[in-house]
Amino acid sequence: MSNFKYQNQELACDQIPLRELAEAFGTPTFVYSGAAIETAYQRLTTAFQGLNTLICYAVKANANLSVLKRLHELGAGFDIVSGGELARVLRAGADPRKIVFSGVGKQDHEIEAALEAGIHCFNIESDAELDRIASIATTTGHIAPISLRVNPDVDPETHPYISTGLNTAKFGVPMAEAEAFYRKAASLTGIEILGIDCHIGSQITSITPYLAAIDKMFTLIDRLMLSGISIKHFDLGGGMGVRYENEPEFPLGALRAALEQRLNDRNLQLVIEPGRYLVANAGVLLTKVIHTKANHEKKFAVVDAAMNDLLRPALYGAVQEVLAVQEPMETGAHTIDVVGPICETGDFLAKDCSLDLKADDLIAICSAGAYGMSMSSNYNTRGRAAEVLVEGGQARLVRTRESVETQLALEIEHLDKPSTTEH
Ligand code: LLP
């Protein structure tokens, strides 16, 4: 979180005090640092320099148009999982030839739109999906470039909800079925075989699961190539972990070393799909204490953000650091839970924090740039938070806070009673 630092006893994002942002834009607000996104992107490009690499940012991590635009300007392509994400990245100026389309359940209209846009590759996850894409491509007069997502059956050693590379998961196809899949793909009109891919999970902090997956994938690639199937790229997926608490720095150098010789010997392009790595530590969720309360020994700070804004603590038991916007004194801290106003005990943002908080204090939930806003909802008829991007010494609103009116506008009020029909 090096772009969020105390200066003059106040937490600031790239020198702009968060207190000023709260005054200007209200709370809760996600605040992103454009400079932090750029630093993370450059760390990746530097690590893979000299390898033929396509970085496709996983849009699901943070889909704000201004964030996408920023990444596009840095040279990123995109990993999308829906027609909605396709529309977003095209609006942000993406080059369709740098878009890969992942996901286990692509629908006809999404496939048609992606073919129409001329995307780089469909990451196919099943035989049924191969048939569907081939049929749509043939009837619409397109050739669909495809890659098969293989499930290498390795344990990514992360939270079970975000482990995808085990053979009990719904993702990909088993390695043993890959050859038959490619044989069939080669026989279909409307299909061009381009690559092979895997994605073993998210928030992976050790190199070990990647090494296991890479070993298995290259053994398979060699087998496929020997049998005459031409593979042009290897897509490793995303999953590179970040520091939320005291996780180690992700070992990019070791990952590069594991890939370099294998890729060069086979003249393969590398595709990676990082999401969290690029944006998590570029953002905080800025929120204000409504009041504090104590139930017996337990102390709570009830804040104006909640699980609808940041679901990770409730859903995964994720721990994200909390910083007081006013730099804390040495004394006065209590052990306190930071909770939202939603009617669920699961509505907490942080537990057992050592903070001295009172009504109207501002706090920042750290590492909220990934899977924060993108997983938010209107639960309890709460409007989604505002989003602010700090760039070049300026803070700009990049998404307006949702009002009750915008939520109600989609609902249809029937003034008449439905006529009753007998069954
Ligand atoms: N590629 C594919 C095919 C994916 O399914 C994902 C994430 C990524 C790339 C990007 O993974 P990343 O580099 O961000 O780890 N909501 C969870 C994370 C879900 C990840 C889903 N897939 C969380 O808040 O931890």
CATH number at residue 69: 3.20.20.10
Q: Is the CB of 368 under 6 A from ligand 1?
A: no
Domain match, 213 and 307 both: no
What's the gap in Å between 141 CA and the centre of ligand 1?
A: 33
What's the gap in Å between 160 CA and the centre of ligand 1?
A: 13
Residues comprising the chain, all counted? 423
Residue 92 located in a structural domain: yes
Residues facing residue 324 across a β-bridge: 363
The answer to whether 262 touches 51, Cβ cutoff 8 Å, is no
- Return left, alpha or beta for 298; rule: phi > 0 is left, psi -120 to 50 is alpha, else beta: beta
Atom of ligand 1 nearest to the CA of 240: 13
Residue 169 is encoded by which pair of tokens? 């998961």
Which domain-ending residue is among 222, 254, 276?
A: 276
Phi and psi for 286 in degrees, rounded to 5?
-90, 125
Q: What pLDDT does residue 255 have?
A: 98
Residue to mutate, 149, 202, 204, 277, ligand 1, most ligand atoms under 8 Å from C-beta = 202
E-strand ranges in 304-370 read 322-324, 334-339, 348-355, 362-365
Q: Is the CB of 162 under 6 A from ligand 1?
A: yes
Q: What pLDDT does residue 422 have?
A: 59
Residue 415 located in a structural domain: no
Tell me how many degrees the CA angle 398-80-98 measures, rounded to the nearest 5: 95
Q: Is the CB of 276 under 6 A from ligand 1?
A: yes
Calculate the CA dihedral of residues 171, 175, 177, 183 and round it to 10 degrees: 110
Question: Does the annotation count 343 as an active-site position?
Answer: yes
Reported pTM: 0.97
The answer to whether 384 touches 402, Cβ cutoff 8 Å, is yes
Helix (H, G, I), strand (E, B) or coil at 128: helix
What's the gap in Å between 202 CA and the centre of ligand 1?
A: 5
Domain match, 330 and 386 both: yes
Domain match, 13 and 98 both: no
Residue 422 located in a structural domain: no
* Active-site entry in 13, 121, 343, 366: 343
Residue 419 located in a structural domain: no
User: By alpha-carbon position, which residue is closest to atom 6 of ligand 1?
Assistant: 238
User: By alpha-carbon position, which residue is closest to atom 7 of ligand 1?
Assistant: 202
Q: Is the CB of 56 under 6 A from ligand 1?
A: no
Domain match, 160 and 218 both: yes
Residue 423 located in a structural domain: no
Residue 133 is encoded by which pair of tokens? 């894409």
Q: What pLDDT does residue 171 have?
A: 83
Domain match, 55 and 73 both: yes
Number of separate domains in the chain: 2
Domain match, 296 and 223 both: no
Helix (H, G, I), strand (E, B) or coil at 421: coil
Domain match, 44 and 18 both: no
CA distance 309 to 28: 8
Domain match, 248 and 294 both: no
Q: Which helix (H) or strand (E) holds 22?
A: helix 18-25
Residue 238 located in a structural domain: yes
Q: Which amino acid is at 5?
A: K
For the sheet with 4-7, list strands across it.
4-7, 10-13, 16-17
Domain match, 107 and 234 both: yes
What's the gap in Å between 211 CA and the centre of ligand 1?
A: 19
Which domain-ending residue is among 256, 276, 296?
A: 276
Q: Is the CB of 85 under 6 A from ligand 1?
A: no
Domain match, 198 and 69 both: yes
Q: Is the CB of 241 under 6 A from ligand 1?
A: no
Task: Render each residue's pLDDT in the chain as its tens digit; 423 residues.
Answer: 789 999 999 999 999 999 999 999 999 999 999 999 999 999 999 999 999 999 999 999 999 999 999 999 999 999 999 999 999 999 999 999 999 999 999 999 999 999 999 999 999 999 999 999 999 999 999 999 999 999 998 887 777 777 776 777 788 899 999 999 999 999 999 999 999 999 999 999 999 999 999 999 999 999 999 999 999 999 999 999 999 999 999 999 999 999 999 999 999 999 999 999 999 999 999 999 999 999 998 999 999 999 999 999 999 999 999 999 999 887 777 899 999 999 999 999 999 999 999 999 999 999 999 999 999 999 999 999 999 999 999 999 999 999 999 999 999 999 888 877 655
Domain match, 150 and 250 both: yes
Residues of the domain holding 356: 4-31+280-408
Q: What is the CATH number of the domain that holds 297?
A: 2.40.37.10
E-strand ranges in 68-174 read 77-80, 99-101, 121-124, 144-151, 173-174
Domain match, 254 and 340 both: no
CA distance 203 to 201: 7
Residue 389 located in a structural domain: yes
The answer to whether 252 touches 236, Cβ cutoff 8 Å, is no
Q: Is the CB of 51 under 6 A from ligand 1?
A: no
Residue 23 located in a structural domain: yes
Q: What pLDDT does residue 421 have?
A: 66
Q: What pLDDT does residue 161 have?
A: 77
In the block, residue with structure tokens 């979180």: 1
Q: Is the CB of 110 under 6 A from ligand 1?
A: no
What's the gap in Å between 356 CA and the centre of ligand 1?
A: 34
Which domain-ending residue is among 260, 276, 292?
A: 276
Calculate the CA dihedral of residues 419, 420, 421, 423 and round it to 10 degrees: 160
Helix (H, G, I), strand (E, B) or coil at 407: helix
What's the gap in Å between 260 CA and the centre of ligand 1?
A: 24
How many of the other CB atoms lie within 10 Å of CB of 81? 19
E-strand ranges in 125-207 read 144-151, 173-174, 191-197
CA distance 102 to 271: 13
Q: What pLDDT does residue 170 have?
A: 84
